[in-house]
Amino acid sequence: MVVPGRRTVWDGVIELTKMAQEQCVDARLWASHLSSTLKPFVEFPSTELAEVLVSYICWDNNLPLLWKFLERAMSLNLVSPLVVLALLADRVVPHRSTQSAAYRIYLEILKRNVFRIKDHITGPHYENVMSSVANILRLPELFRLETSKPGLLLVEFVFKIVSQLLDACLSDEGLIDPSQDSSSQWLIKSQDMELDAPERYNGKTGGTHEKLQTLNTIMAIEMVAEFLRNTVISRLLYLVSSNRSSHWHEFVRRVQVLGENSMAIRSSKVLNSGDLMQLISDKRFGYSYDSKIVSLRKSNAIVDFGSLASFAGLCHGASLSSLWLPLDLVFEDAMDGYQVNPTSAIEIITGLAKTLKEINGSTWHDTFLGLWIAALRLVQRERDPIEGPIPRLDTRLCMSLCIVPLVVANLIEEGENEFVMEKLRDDLVTSLQVLGEFPGLLAPPQCVVSAANKAATKAIIFLSGGNVGKSCSDVINMKDMPINCSGNMRHLIVEACIARNVLETSAYSWAGYVNGRINQIPPNLQSEVPCWSSFVKGAPLNAAMVNALVSVPASSLVEIEKLYEVAVKGSDGEKISAATVLCGASLTRGWNIQEHTVEFLTRLLSPPVPADYSGAESHLISYACMLNVVIFGIGSVDSIQIFSLHGMVPQLACSLMPICEAFGSYTPSVSWTLPSGEQISAYSVFSNAFTLLLKLWRFNHPPIEHGVGDVPTVGSQLTPEHLLSVRNSHLVSSKTLNRDRNRRRLSEVARSASSQPVFVDSFPKLKIWYRQHQRCIASTLSGLTPGSPVHQMVEALLNMMFRKVRGSQTLNPVNSGTSSSSGAASEDVIPRPEFPAWDILKAVPYVVDAALTACTHGRLSPRELATGLKDLTDFLPASLATIVSYFSAEVSRGVWKPVFMNGMDWPNPAANLSNVEEFIKKILATTGVDIPSLAPAGGSSPATLPLPLAAFVSLTITYKIDKASERFLNLAGPALECLAAGCPWPCMPIVASLWTQKAKRWFDFLVFSASRTVFLHNPDAVVQLLRNCFSATLGLNAAPVSNDGGVGALLGHGFGSHFYGGISPVAPGILYLRMYRALRDTVSVTEEIFSLFIHSVEDIAQNRLSKENLKRLKTVKNGSRYGQSSLATAMTQVKLAASLSASLVWLTGGLGVVHLLIKETIPSWFLSVDKSDQEQRPSDLVAELRGHALAYFVVLCGAFAWGVDSRSAASKRRQGIMGSHLQFLASVLDGKISVGCETATWRAYVSGLVSLMVSCLSPWVTEVDAEVLKSLSNGLRQWGKDELAILLLSMGGVETLGDAVDFIIHLRS
């Protein structure tokens, strides 16, 4: 830097230059003299020299000779051209109006040097040069750089220069006013000098000057275009677009303004507006959220994973619509009533939809359409479901008409807040319009025909000018309509979307939406009982009104809010009535307001403390009747699944725990009377609440199901602690809370109960039972001390249970030195124990153990045992849970002798055992599973069961199949099936046979349930079933040109058999989804899935890419049309196979198995593949196909588990797992590890995985270690994947941008 007032070497430079100027010395001679003079004192290139020369020229010596001197100094590298350009940009551009000739020279110098930027950054002075440039242009201040790496500064320099030119053009043409436009970051408005200041070298004046200014503007615009066109510079600008998005978006906007409005561009001979717009388009710069890396798509057709082009073949065929197969699988999996999910289906499906959209490269229109069609297929699969204690049509309709609309609303709200897509609502509209082209899917089930017709009628009335308030659906009488108002599922979907404010009533006017209009609204149209409208207006909740409201769902939030207000603030009778109504049709069929109904019912389980309450007991006691109504009302299988789909299970468990704690500490002498006259006791409320609570986690499963090694099974973490942990997480505020209506709702419900975290320790009675339950499962009973309160309770319960047993037999409690006589006592003499429920539950395991021991020794008959156990469960229904816990543990221990099911001591299954076995074989055979070793149990050998299992099934068949017993059978049923499945074959057919004798209409369900247990006893059956899933989905058994396969072949039509005595094929996917949760070794199963996936790719290649086709692809340039078609078809099927495989892995093993797969299984496969057998080696094209299939599979597995962004809690594990996997790839590329697979497979896998990550999963790339990214990039460069290597480095953040710049600069153009 020149210091004023002090003679320095730079003063000598000025004197030398002034002398050369006066003598008109040749520039070469001046430069030579200058170099020899400065060489002892200055190191070239010199920033100070550049500053001196530019300062000397601007503006007192603005002469042509001086510009030649400057140019010569640059050519001899006395000064860096980049530093000179920075200085001129800072000095000349602001004065371009008065110094138009200087501005022209600047443009010429810029044109000569900036596109040869590689020549200016070589050598040891690169870092110092860029540091000087940054200081001159104040780049660190402007861009707030985290680093001073020269590569990053070079990118910032290029972006500033082109942005400055752009703003200068806009300002000169009057398209922006810098003084008014705060987004302009540089002072580019031309600054006027003093009026009398001479312009030594500024061309001519007058018209010539104006002409030069116009020519300058044209040249500047052409320069901007050249910046965008030049390979090196455009690549550098791409780094800006991917790392400085806000600056880039503004830059793009300004280029578009220039292209659309510039007058000067029309005078250009080399550029037009269209050219400029094309140069800045999304296709060239991947700044748009939806843009894909076009160059990657073109570089290898197999990398182009395509998008949803058609929904033809919705149920069959490996069409592109089948890429949405994961949606169908997840929807169908959620219908399994054996387990609830603590995570909202809204959250799961929202993440899945975004994942599939990104990886499939789909539009939002296609994404919405994929959601709707998968939801409709879900309903169509079970139009007439078989009977049994399983979720029925209500749960499927909840998914289709409530959950999916909420998912769509979530996506739209998220998109609008982040400005990801401006036309999300338009895409929703077009997707729903297209949906009308699938009448087969839109046909409503019989039970919802009326609702669909009313929805269509509502649209007709609206179009006819009638008043259709949100609550009019309960007052429309279809008989009064003068025209046909047939509705379908689309009408119900549209109403659901309108209710969520994501669709306008303009949808009613869509072409073909309704049949027409009516000229006059019938005066008696609203002749039905206007129950909801009357209630909102103040009608009392009398018996007639309650009956009406229970059967008709509410249609607006106002109605539900009014009902909730009554339930909270009304009289005791009104509270009960309001709770009853909330548990009615509004819960199961109120799709437009179902999320609010579920929310309000959950809130009712945590009622506020009354203002005047002063009792010592829990305030919940005073709400006993209302709480019991709610708990009983939501206890059905469908209702629990509806709560699960809405994500309310954690809060539901949290609300039930204090109810159990309070009522379980109360004696049964306290009772309450319902308005119906029925009396309920503390036992009743406790048992209902406790039974419902236990349904929310797998409480009865033995420790063996906790997983293999370090990998837990799916659902094994469903414990009270886990449920409370999830609930407590809803209290935590996050930046995404306001943008996610589902999380916001869950947070509000959790806070309404308690704003503080809740733990199991908050409920000491429950905790004691839970610890006892865990000990009971883990080890045999012990610790019963004679004379202790628990021992006394055991004796009292034994006396009550077996009071009718004759004789002087004794039942010995465990570890007791005393005996309890149950002989001559009469029922009147022995009163029922009056103890709190928690105290009774402590004694139940010892009671059952004593009874079972007595039965073993002949002191108690099997019939007396079953009767006594039933008496115990009638006395305290909640004791069934502890009985289940005890039997589960004892069966798994295998210490009890089997008993003969001979019809004398124990019930006899012989009446239909052979029939059940025959149907099990048929189900397996029709599904394609052949198990010749399936031993018959209906032969000459008598049927036997382990004693605990025999006692358990005998107890369960004493229950009536009615609504009162439903909630207890729903608890005992899955436990009974689990126990029977864990026992040697044919225990399960025996249990099924006994139950089919009791519940004949459940025959199909029971036989299907029994058939699932075959897979627990025969691992080969699991492999066969999985193989059939692949064959069905891919249609590999069909002709190559057929459309067989797809979603319909995999999932079919539900269970298959819909009539007693009949059988139809069960789709393999349905059978797998209904049995995989019972599999214990999920790691082995997922390894089988992976193996089948690899083999399926080879089968696809053999079917779709015959040797003849492969020869054509090799011999014909770019492949023949037929060959291209075959390759595209093969790739579509490969993607479908990968999609199926990833979905099954994710569902079967969950997060843990996905982690194991990516971290260990895939690397092990690459290392262990043997390529020594040359005869069996696949062709290069097939090997390449396999590599890309593996990449697609791995990315899908990871995306399903973690999501494409960082919103989910699971995404926190992504960096470690994916980092480990990519480190393995980097080690192979660095030569540290050798793989055994074909080179084509390895290269295709690495390039395919990286291309998917950079095009779809940018958050994943930013989490990867910089050194790993550099190694991957170097490997890609060695394979000629230059563009992919650049993209990878460009997304790695500051740590890799410098390497990206170096690569770009030195890359061959």
DSSP states along 1091-1146: HHHHHHHHHHHHHHS-HHHHHHHHHSTT--HHHHHHHHHHHHHHHHHHHHHHHHHH
Task: Name the residue among 337, 146, 176 with its Cα closest to residue 1294.
Answer: 146
SS3 906: coil
Give the list of residues 6+ apart from residue 319 with CB closer than 8 angstroms, or none. 310, 311, 312, 313, 1043, 1046, 1132
* Mean pLDDT of all residues in 1076-1104: 89
Rounded CA separation 617/662 (Å): 8
Task: Name the residue among 1054, 917, 1048, 937 with its Cα closest to residue 984.
Answer: 937
pLDDT band at 1243 (very low <50, low <70, confident <90, very high): very high
pLDDT band at 987 (very low <50, low <70, confident <90, very high): very high
Using alpha carbons only, give the angle 398, 545, 682 rounded to the nearest 5 degrees: 75
pLDDT, residue 855, reads 93
**CA torsion through residues 751, 752, 753, 756, sign:** positive
Contact 88, 106 (CB under 8 A): yes
pLDDT, residue 1048, reads 86
Sort strands 944-946 and 898-900 into parallel, antiparallel or unpaired: antiparallel
- Residue 1207: pLDDT above 90? no
Sort strands 944-946 and 820-821 into parallel, antiparallel or unpaired: unpaired
By the 10 Å C-beta count (0-12 exposed, 13-18 middle, 19+ buried), 848 is classed as buried
Rounded CA separation 910/995 (Å): 12
Six-digit token string for 724: 């409370």
The mean pLDDT value of the chain amounts to 83
Rounded CA separation 511/494 (Å): 14
Give the list of residues 6+ apart from residue 1169 with CB closer than 8 angstroms, or none. 1235, 1236, 1237
Of 505 and 705, the one with more pLDDT: 505
pLDDT, residue 1120, reads 46
> The tokens 């069966």 sit on which residue?
891
Rounded CA separation 965/960 (Å): 6
Six-digit token string for 241: 């677009």
DSSP 269-312: SS--HHHHHHHTSTTTSTTSTT---HHHHHH-GGG---------
Contact 1124, 1115 (CB under 8 A): no
- Residue 701: pLDDT above 90? no
* Mean pLDDT of all residues in 1008-1013: 89
pLDDT, residue 516, reads 66
pLDDT, residue 727, reads 94
Task: With both helix axes pointing from N to C terminus, report the angle between 345-360 and 325-333 in degrees, rounded to the nearest 10.
Answer: 170
Rounded CA separation 1068/1027 (Å): 9
pLDDT, residue 384, reads 67
| Alpha-carbon separation of residue 1030 from 641, 875, 1019, 1073 (angstroms) | 29, 51, 17, 14
The helix (run of H) or strand (run of E) holding residue 1217 is helix 1214-1229
Rounded CA separation 873/871 (Å): 5
> The tokens 């809370």 sit on which residue?
737
Six-digit token string for 1111: 């020869």
pLDDT, residue 1140, reads 96
Rounded CA separation 331/326 (Å): 8
Rounded CA separation 1139/1194 (Å): 10
**No. of H helices and E strands in the chain?**
60, 6
pLDDT single digits (tens) 385-415: 778 788 889 999 999 999 999 999 999 988 7
Contact 914, 874 (CB under 8 A): no
SS3 945: strand
pLDDT band at 834 (very low <50, low <70, confident <90, very high): confident
pLDDT band at 476 (very low <50, low <70, confident <90, very high): low
Percent of the chain past pLDDT 70, that is, above it, reads: 81
pLDDT, residue 899, reads 92
pLDDT single digits (tens) 668-697: 777 888 887 888 999 999 999 999 999 998
* Lowest mean pLDDT segment, chosen from 82-86, 290-294, 499-503: 290-294
Give the list of residues 6+ apart from residue 479 with CB closer than 8 angstroms, or none. none
Six-digit token string for 611: 């203002």
Phi and psi for 898 in degrees, rounded to 5?
-75, 155
* Mean pLDDT of all residues in 1198-1220: 91
- Residue 310: pLDDT above 80? no
Phi and psi for 194 in degrees, rounded to 5?
-60, 145
Count of beta carbons in the 10 Å neighbourhood of residue 814: 18
Of 467 and 1040, the one with more pLDDT: 467
pLDDT, residue 1208, reads 85
pLDDT single digits (tens) 794-823: 999 999 998 776 443 556 555 433 333 333
Six-digit token string for 579: 């709770």
Contact 153, 134 (CB under 8 A): yes
pLDDT, residue 497, reads 96
pLDDT, residue 527, reads 37
Rounded CA separation 325/319 (Å): 11
Percent of the chain past pLDDT 90, that is, above it, reads: 53
pLDDT band at 356 (very low <50, low <70, confident <90, very high): very high
Q: Which ranges of 832-878 would DSSP assign to H, the alpha helix?
A: 837-856, 862-875
SS3 1233: coil
Q: Which ranges of 334-448 would DSSP assign to H, the alpha helix?
A: 345-360, 364-381, 393-398, 404-418, 424-435, 439-442
pLDDT band at 933 (very low <50, low <70, confident <90, very high): low
pLDDT, residue 1118, reads 46
Phi and psi for 1121 in degrees, rounded to 5?
-60, -40
pLDDT single digits (tens) 224-247: 999 999 989 999 998 888 888 888
| Alpha-carbon separation of residue 292 from 287, 296, 364, 803, 1087 (angstroms) | 9, 8, 14, 77, 32
- Residue 177: pLDDT above 60? yes
Rounded CA separation 1061/1225 (Å): 56
- Residue 419: pLDDT above 70? no
- Residue 1155: pLDDT above 80? yes
| Alpha-carbon separation of residue 982 from 190, 214, 697, 1055 (angstroms) | 86, 88, 19, 23
- Residue 483: pLDDT above 70? no
* Lowest mean pLDDT segment, chosen from 17-26, 421-430, 846-855, 1087-1096: 421-430
* Lowest mean pLDDT segment, chosen from 203-217, 620-634, 1151-1165: 203-217
pLDDT, residue 519, reads 55
- Residue 192: pLDDT above 50? no
SS3 856: helix
pLDDT, residue 78, reads 95
Side chain identity, residue 631: I
> The tokens 């939809």 sit on which residue?
353
pLDDT, residue 580, reads 95
* Lowest mean pLDDT segment, chosen from 357-371, 514-528, 657-671, 1175-1189: 514-528
Rounded CA separation 844/955 (Å): 15
SS3 1164: helix
pLDDT, residue 281, reads 82
